[in-house]
Amino acid sequence: MNFEELFKQIIAFTKNLNKRQKIVIISAIVALVAIISFLVVFNTTSSKTKTGYAILFDNLSSKDAALIVQYLDKKQIPYVIPEDGVIEVPKDVVQKIRLDVAAQGLPKSSKVGFELFDKNSFGITDFEQKVKYLRALEGELGRTIESLDAVESATVNIAIPKDSVFVEKQTPPTASVVIKLKPNMVLTPKQIQGIKYLVAAAVPKMKPENVKIIDQYGNLLGENDELTQNNELLKAEIIYKKRMEKALEDKIVSILAPVIGGKNKVVAKVNLDIDFSQVKSKSTIYSPDNVVRSEQTLEESRTGYKPKEVGGVPGAVSNVGPVQGTKSNEVKDKYTKSQTTTNYEISTTVKDVKEPLAKIKRITAAVVVDGHYKEDKDGKKEFVPLTKLELTNIENLVKNTIGYDPKRGDSVSVSSFQFTGNSANNEPTSAVGKVMQSVQMYLGPISGILKYLFLAIVLFVFYKKVITPFTQKMLEVKIEEEPEYVKPDIEINEEEVESTYDKIKELKEKVEQQLGISSDVNEEELKYEVLLDRIVKMAEEKTEEVAKVLENLIKEETHEV
């Protein structure tokens, strides 16, 4: 690249600019330099990172930072503390120093998980093993909770009571969680409930209601779960109701717009009475068709005499029973019994019905449409409302659109009124207005796409017709042609020169005669002296013109050479 030529082009370009353009360019350059300087200074002051240094640890507590600084001073390792809780060391040794510091058990306040069991310790008691396990479990739960977007740090404390042989005296385990939230971040009720279930699932026999959560300000979280859930449910129900009403209104307007003459001639409002209660019902239905499952028949029969009975007047004779073996004139006794039992199988149907969560109880719709406009004798347009037949047809369309059900008590009202925005004064009367109205009617649904397409075309034309020529013009270097130098005419009056010459000649002859000197006069020398005298006098009187003549002569001689 020829920098000398580029520098000349830049100088020529700046000469071609007017004062206003120069001010604009200089202001833009100054603003650009100021912005770049501000960004550089801001990044330097905000990061405060020394060149060649990297972060060793961040988010440290004051105790851990003091211990780490003490270790670095002991090892004579250079470090920088750009802000609270951040320590930086030389970039080339940051990994080694981090391992050395970790070997010293620093930072102490950092969470430890099940890596506590990576090293085997001989002679450890059962109590110490349980404490290490509990500490590891708390650290793992804290790390898991910190993985949430809204949580900056979390501390989990678990209390496990001693086991008791008596069931009545057993105490369930409990847990407390302290959460530090990020700025401008909150936990939703579902997230709070999820944290409770997460902690409860990690500890045996722990229930979610035994987990308490507070934030960094000491506010108890998740205690009003039922109230919060009800509020959230109420918001969801309102949003759902508005969305359903808006959908039905759009359906009514879209189906009536082509008939009435546009969306601006129809106004529809729908009100839904929705039952959000969830009902569960269970019913048992017995079938009338019976099927014989089993049948039992029992028959009994007996034949013989009645047993003898002892009776009569008290005494010896009556005490003697009947004599066996003697004939009796009594009739034989006969006994017969028949019993039949039939078991029928009854067919039953058990239904467990769960009704939908959102059930429409009633729909009410109000529709207002514009009428017709007719010209009177004076040429003015008068409003004419729709006829009853037209209103009835529109009402039937609306009923079919919203799913009208008279059993639910639904109601639809259709009226015809004059719209202020569509009055006779605003009706298009010219052909151009009617064409624009038709275009709006057919191109209205895709107006958003057309808007962005038109914007893209305008930007493209602006780039081609304005930016590109301006850029080319700014990059061009105009070489101005030097105007031809017009030689200034220095007029010398020849008659004046001749008269002066004659006078000087006469005076010179007289002086020579008086002095007795020869009168031989060289006319050429005399003329040269006169011209030289005149030129000197003219140079004194017209200095600028004489300078231009000399400059022109020098240029001509230079070109010839």
Identify the CATH number of the domain in which residue 244 sits: 3.30.300
Whether this model's pTM surpasses 0.75:
no
Q: How many CB atoms lie within 10 A of CB 386?
A: 19
pLDDT digits (tens, 9 = 90+) for 415-440: 988 887 544 444 555 666 667 767 77
| Same domain (yes/no): 353, 205 | no
- Distance between CA atoms of 400 and 211, rounded to whole angstroms? 54
User: Would you say residue 121 lies in a domain?
Assistant: yes
pLDDT score at 480: 44
| Same domain (yes/no): 378, 261 | yes
| Same domain (yes/no): 148, 215 | yes
User: Would you say residue 485 lies in a domain?
Assistant: no
| Same domain (yes/no): 157, 265 | no
The residues near 69 (Cβ < 8 Å, ≥ 6 apart) are 79, 81, 87
| Same domain (yes/no): 398, 262 | yes
Extract the tokens encoding 512: 């020579």
The residues near 53 (Cβ < 8 Å, ≥ 6 apart) are 80, 88, 89, 90, 91
User: Can you list the positions of beta strands (E) in 392-529?
Assistant: 411-416
Identify residue 277 by its one-letter amino acid code: S
- Distance between CA atoms of 404 and 362, rounded to whole angstroms? 9
Q: Identify the domain boundary among 75, 104, 133.
A: 104
Asked if residue 240 lies in contact with residue 358, where contact means CB atoms within 8 angstroms, the answer is yes
Helix axes 225-260, 388-402, angle to 10 degrees: 140
- Distance between CA atoms of 484 and 559, rounded to whole angstroms? 14
**Domain span holding position 398:** 224-289+342-420
- Distance between CA atoms of 128 and 354, rounded to whole angstroms? 54
User: What is the rounded radius of gyration, in angstroms, for the C-alpha atoms of the chain?
Assistant: 59
| Listed residue (193, 248, 251) closest to 364, CA to CA | 248
pLDDT digits (tens, 9 = 90+) for 282-307: 888 877 777 777 888 888 877 766 66
Q: Backbone dihedral region of 495: left (phi > 0), alpha (psi from -120 to 50 degrees) or beta? A: alpha
* CA dist list (Å): 177 to 73, 154, 158, 201: 36, 7, 9, 14
User: Would you say residue 270 lies in a domain?
Assistant: yes
- Distance between CA atoms of 106 and 99, rounded to whole angstroms? 10
| Same domain (yes/no): 216, 233 | no
Q: Identify the domain boundary among 420, 453, 487.
A: 420
pLDDT score at 478: 44
Asked if residue 367 lies in contact with residue 411, where contact means CB atoms within 8 angstroms, the answer is no
- Distance between CA atoms of 273 and 363, rounded to whole angstroms? 6
Answer positive or negative: Cα dihedral of 399, 402, 404, 410. Answer: negative
User: Would you say residue 393 lies in a domain?
Assistant: yes
Q: How many CB atoms lie within 10 A of CB 98?
A: 16
Asked if residue 420 lies in contact with residue 282, where contact means CB atoms within 8 angstroms, the answer is no
Between vectors from CA 443 to CA 442 and to CA 447, what angle results, nearest 5°? 150
| Same domain (yes/no): 284, 181 | no
| Same domain (yes/no): 144, 233 | no
User: Would you say residue 335 lies in a domain?
Assistant: no
pLDDT score at 479: 43
User: Would you say residue 408 lies in a domain?
Assistant: yes
Q: Identify the domain boundary among 223, 252, 270.
A: 223
| Same domain (yes/no): 138, 168 | yes
pLDDT score at 389: 92
Domain count, the chain: 3
Asked if residue 257 lies in contact with residue 266, where contact means CB atoms within 8 angstroms, the answer is yes
pLDDT score at 485: 45
With residue 236 as reference, give the H or E element that holds it: helix 225-260
User: Would you say residue 329 lies in a domain?
Assistant: no
User: Would you say residue 252 lies in a domain?
Assistant: yes
Extract the tokens encoding 246: 């808006």
| Same domain (yes/no): 276, 397 | yes
Segments of the chain with pLDDT less than 50: 46-49, 422-426, 477-490, 517
Asked if residue 370 lies in contact with residue 422, where contact means CB atoms within 8 angstroms, the answer is yes
| Same domain (yes/no): 267, 414 | yes
Q: Backbone dihedral region of 40: left (phi > 0), alpha (psi from -120 to 50 degrees) or beta? A: alpha
- Distance between CA atoms of 63 and 66, rounded to whole angstroms? 5
| Same domain (yes/no): 234, 251 | yes
